[in-house]
A and B are shown apart, each in its own frame.
Chain A
Amino acid sequence: MRTFTVLGRHRNLLAYAVVIGIVISVAQGRESIYDVGVSILVFGLMGIPLALMYGHGGIISLCQASFAALGGYATSILTVSHGWSAWEALAPSILVPGVIAYLISRPILRLPELSLALTTIALAQLWYGLVALGGDRTGGHVGLYGMPALPFGDEQLGGFLGIAVLVAAAIWAFENYVRSARGRALNAIRIDPILARSVGADVARERALVFGVAAGVAGLAGWYFSLYVGFLSPDSLSFTQSFAVLFMVVIGGRRSSIGPLIGSTVYILAGDLLPGGVAQGVVFGAMLVAVLLLLPDGLASLGGIVRRVRRRPPGSGSAAPRDPAPAKRERAHA
């Protein structure tokens, strides 16, 4: 029974592991497939904590890529200028963005949700400007290069497996969190801050903590990205990428741990198929509007809808409600 519930909690992780296995067996060591896979997974790693933050906590970030860049620059500067190893740079690349995000958001999160979204837009611009003005330290507009290789072995497969394991850990942690008292508090805050406060939740603190964790995980993605590419400039992880991460979370499913991965797969593959920036802008913009309007919990919620429709008609085995009055379904609200 217990093993069954553990599997039920982690069935997304299982599905993910199966897909990764299939990709590896299909790829047969072909570099291009691993490259595409790594792009999808790096975006996914930035998106999964954003799904927790937006889908469960109700707050939006438009600077996930900036926090990744912060982690990436921490890694690059420490490894290139100070001779740290890739592993030694891991902790700072997570902690620096995480702590900064927590400290900045704490006072701002006493205000309604919108204020954090505006803050993140401002942060993205500020960060971009500061990096460009950073001179020799950040490499300015030119950027930094000469980072050590990823510490996952020389093979392409090693790099791919490394990010795949990081993403698996993120999915696992996500599923744990939403089933804990802290996760329930986060959801209560999104649905009704007044109710959440009445059960003792500290609205600003809970949200700031999740925002900090999301930034830290983005920093981890930045650590991986800077070592994988071996080059980092202000434009590698800019506002465009931050917006893309949010796009993926919305398209794939903001409440699901694998929604961001579905979204990043759509984004990367459609980006390869569509001819150039103009077509991409129109198609991605239209997709964003359509999904927000018609399918607020994204493509990942399609499975749940199908399951519910199939489960509904017969008595479904569970005890009937005490009151036979027809239960009025309330419209799902966001």
Chain B
Amino acid sequence: MLSARGIAVAFGGVKALDVVDVEVGPGSIVGMVGPNGAGKSTLFNCLTGVVSPDAGTVELDGKDITRWPTERRARVGIGRTFQTARADPNSTVCDAIMTGFTVSTRQCMLGAFLSSPGVRAEEKQFKARALALVDTFDLGNPDALVGELPAPHRRLLEVARTLAGDAKYLLLDEPAAGMDSLDRQILSKVLRQVADRGIGIVLVEHNFGFVLSLCDEVTVLASGKVVAQGTPEHIREHPEIVRVYLGQGTP
């Protein structure tokens, strides 16, 4: 269970988040939606360790990780993606995914220099797993350069890299932004498979329809407060949400 309780963040007197709770259990997908400036990115940053909240706690399986830096969270199984794809445009797709193994590698420095049998075996296994991920996400040629991938595929690549790191929880920052419906289908399918393996997923999104169709739990934020929280069915029928977001029948 990854949970944030009573989170409050203020930037120079402006309340970005005003006592917000959100939690995700193994195998479930939780979506956070809301307009720009609603505080969903700030909440996301509290979970990843980029922002330190003024009040409230972030806990992983009962352990307080509120003040842990990003790399330490990564090591206990919290993986994340970024809003703008950050992979090196000059590396190959396969290498970019293999960067995700940094968190789980058992290679020591000397072994890496000497290319010890253990290191070679692990590299072989990493390579096979990376190629499998390339397949899962339908990313095409694993030896193509990241810079040559179209933007939506680079987002899929971000998710693939995070999955490589054996994360127990995935935090995805607008994973579907700029994707067409085909790419979104691939993403939905893969995320559902991932959740079925017992991995908890939190995602921040603009797209209401995508979130409602994919997630088990949805939190709607506006002006730093929770407007509605619950299952997609509950959200669809929530009077406030219907009035403000779904009234025109957009999704």
Contacts and interface: CB of A to CB of B under 8 A. Distances in A.
A and B touch in the complex (CB under 8 A): yes
Interface of A: 173, 176-177, 179-185, 187-188, 191-192, 194-203, 209, 213, 318-323, 325, 327-330, 332-333
Contact of B99 (A199, A322, A323): A199
B102 A318 contact: no
B122 interface: yes
Q: Which of B75, B99, B148 has the most CB of A within 10 A?
A: B99
B36 interface: no
A330 B84 CA distance: 14
B74 A181 contact: no
A225 B69 CA distance: 44
A176 B113 contact: yes
Nearest to A170: B113
Contact of A181 (B82, B86, B105, B150): B105
B144 A200 contact: no
Contacts of A203: 71
A179 B71 contact: no
Nearest to A196: B102
B151 to A, nearest CB: 9
A315 to B, nearest CB: 11
B115 A176 contact: yes
B147 A184 contact: no
A32 to B, nearest CB: 34
B112 A198 contact: no
B244 interface: no
A300 to B, nearest CB: 16
Interface stretch (B20-28, B135-143, B197-205, B230-238): B135-143
B74 A182 contact: no
A302 to B, nearest CB: 17
Nearest to B81: A198
A204 B176 CA distance: 33
B71 A181 contact: no
A197 B69 contact: yes
21 contacts: A177-B113, A179-B123, A181-B102, A182-B107, A183-B112, A184-B98, A188-B102, A191-B88, A194-B70, A194-B86, A195-B82, A199-B100, A199-B161, A200-B75, A200-B102, A203-B71, A213-B109, A319-B140, A320-B141, A322-B153, A327-B147
B107 A181 contact: yes
B141 A318 contact: yes
The 3 closest A-B pairs by CB, nearest first: A200-B103, A200-B74, A180-B112
B228 interface: no
A328 B109 CA distance: 37
Contact of A202 (B71, B80, B91, B144): B71
B149 interface: yes
B130 to A, nearest CB: 11
B219 interface: no
B99 A200 contact: no
Nearest to B116: A176
A197 B140 CA distance: 27
B45 to A, nearest CB: 12
Contact of A177 (B112, B126, B140, B149): B112
B119 interface: yes
A181 B101 contact: yes
A178 B149 CA distance: 23
Nearest to A212: B109
A200 B98 contact: no
